[in-house]
Amino acid sequence: MPDVTTVQPLSLSLDKMSVSKRAISKDSKGPNGKSNQLSSESDRYSCYPTPFVGDVDLPESMEPILMESKRRFVLFPIQYHEIWRMYKKAEASFWTAEEMDLAPDVNDWNWRLNDNERHFISHVLAFFAASDGIVNENLVERFSNEVQAAEARCFYGFQIMMENIHSETYSLLIDTYIKDPNQREYLFDAIETIPCIKRKADWALKWISDDQSSFGERLVAFAAVEGIFFSGSFASIFWLKKRGLMPGLTFSNELISRDEGMHTDFACLLFSHLRRRPHPDIIRDIITEAVAIEQEFLTDALPVGLIGMNAKLMCQYIEFVADRLLQTLGNPKLYNSTNPFDFMDNISLQGKTNFFEKRVSDYAKAGVNHSATSTDGPSDATSSKLFTLNEDF
C-alpha cells in the first residue's frame, strides 16, 4: 500500500467553490503547486497515490449495498444485522417538536441574554434550520436512490422524518424568539443572505450535485456535515446550558445532537461495508476541508466569543471531533487534540448521558436488540466504533 504520509494535502480554493462542481475545483492545486485542470476522473485523482483502497477494480455498481436486487423490496430475512440494529435504535429515539417547552426561553431571551448572545443564537439557529433540509435533499435525491440494502433504506427513511422534525424545531425556535417578521425572513433565507452560512451550505450542496465523486467520498462528506459542521454549534448551545440559560433550546439541542451523532455513526457503518473505499488521503482532505470551514465559522464569521467562549478552545474541540471521525472511518488521527470542554463530557452516544430525563432514557422505548436480529449472525466489527464527541484515547 502506498505511503500515505508522503502525500501533501490537496489545497482547495474554498472561496470559489461552486454548488454544481466537484469538491476539487478547477482551481485546485496539486502537490507541485500548479493548477489542475480537472477534465477526467484520472485528473481528479492525479495528486493521490491511488484513488481507492480495498477491491480497487470493483465497479461501484457491484458494491453489495449498492447493487440492485429484487430483495430490496422485502425485509426478512435480515441480511445486514448491524444496519438493522441501527435502524431499530433510531426508531426507538423518536420524538416530536411538540415536546419542547419554550415558555421559559422567552424570558431568558428578552431579559437574560445580551445583544451579542441573541445575535449568535439566532444565526446558529438559522444555519441549523437550513442544514437539515440540505441533509434531506441528499438523502432523497442521492443516498436513498443509490443504496439498495433494505435495512439501510429503513434507516434513511426514518432519518428523513427526523430531519424534518429537527427542521420544524429550529423553525419554531426562530419563530418564538424573533418577533420582527423581516428579521425572521432574513434568518430563514440564511443560505442566501448570510455569507458564513452560505459557505457551509454550498460545501454540502456541491456534494449532492456532484456526478464524479464516488459514493464513498460523498458518504464521508455528509458524515463531515453531520459530525463536524454541527459539532461546534452544538457545543456552543451546551455552553448556554452550563450557564443555566434557555432550557427549551438546550433540551432540543440534546435530542438533536444525539440524533445527528447516530446519523454520523450510521454513515461510518455503511462506509465499513464498502469493498472499494476512497484512499485515506482523500478521506483526510474531505475532513480537513470541513474542519477549516467550521473553525472559520465559529471563530471569525460568527465568533463564539460573542457568548463568552474561548475561540482557541473551540478550534481544538472541532479538531478533537474530527480526529474521532477520522479514526471511525479507519484513518489515523490528524490533529491529536483533546477535548477542552468539560461540559461536553455529557455528550456521549454510549449511554453516559441523561438526555432523556423528561422521557424514556437511552433508547429504551423499543426493544432494540429484540427484533429480527435476536438470532442474527456475527456482529459487525465496527459496532464498537461509535462516533462520540467526548472520548479521548
Report which of residues 287 and 78 the model is more confident about: 287
Dmax over CA atoms of the chain, in Å, equals 62
Summarised one tens digit per residue, pLDDT across range 182-233 is 999 999 998 998 888 899 999 999 999 999 999 999 999 999 999 999 999 9
Contact assessment for residue 280 and residue 1, using Cβ atoms and an 8 Å cutoff: no
C-alpha cell at 283: 478521506
pTM above 0.95, yes or no: no
CA distances from 191 to 13, 70, 233, 235, 277 (A): 20, 40, 16, 21, 31
Q: How many Å apart are CA 362 and CA 350, to the nearest integer?
A: 9
Single out the catalytic residue among 48, 87, 156, 170.
170
Residue 33: CB atoms within 10 A of its CB come to 8
C-alpha cell at 298: 465559529
Q: Is the pLDDT of residue 350 over 60?
A: no
Please spell the DSSP secondary structure of 347-363, one letter per residue. --SSS---TTTTS--TT
The pLDDT-based confidence of 346 (bands split at 50, 70, 90) is low
Q: How many Å apart are CA 231 and CA 276, to the nearest integer?
A: 28
Alpha-helical runs (H) found in the chain: 41-44, 81-92, 103-107, 115-138, 144-146, 150-177, 181-188, 190-193, 195-209, 215-224, 231-242, 247-273, 280-296, 311-328
* Catalytic (active site) residue 177: no
- Domains by residue range for the chain, with CATH: 102-361 (1.10.620.20)
Summarised one tens digit per residue, pLDDT across range 243-283 is 899 999 999 999 999 999 999 999 999 999 999 999 999 99
User: What stretches of 18-102 adopt beta strand conformation (E)?
Assistant: 52-54
